Amino acid sequence: MKVMSKEEFEKQNVFGTGTENTAYAKYF
């Protein structure tokens, strides 16, 4: 499952620059 767009990723990333970024990175 990929993030629809960079904006979607950044929106999620706002919740936790470190934690969320690592968690969502695997979806790319």
Give the whole-angstrom CA distance, residue 1 versus residue 18.
20
Distance CA 16, CA 23 (A): 10
Domain that holds residue 27: 1-28
Q: How many domains does the chain have?
A: 1
Tokens 């934690």 -> residue: 19
Residue-level pLDDT at 25 = 59
Decide: pTM greater than 0.75: no
pLDDT of residue 18: 54
pLDDT in tens, 1-28: 465 667 766 666 565 555 555 555 565 5
Give the pLDDT score at 6: 72
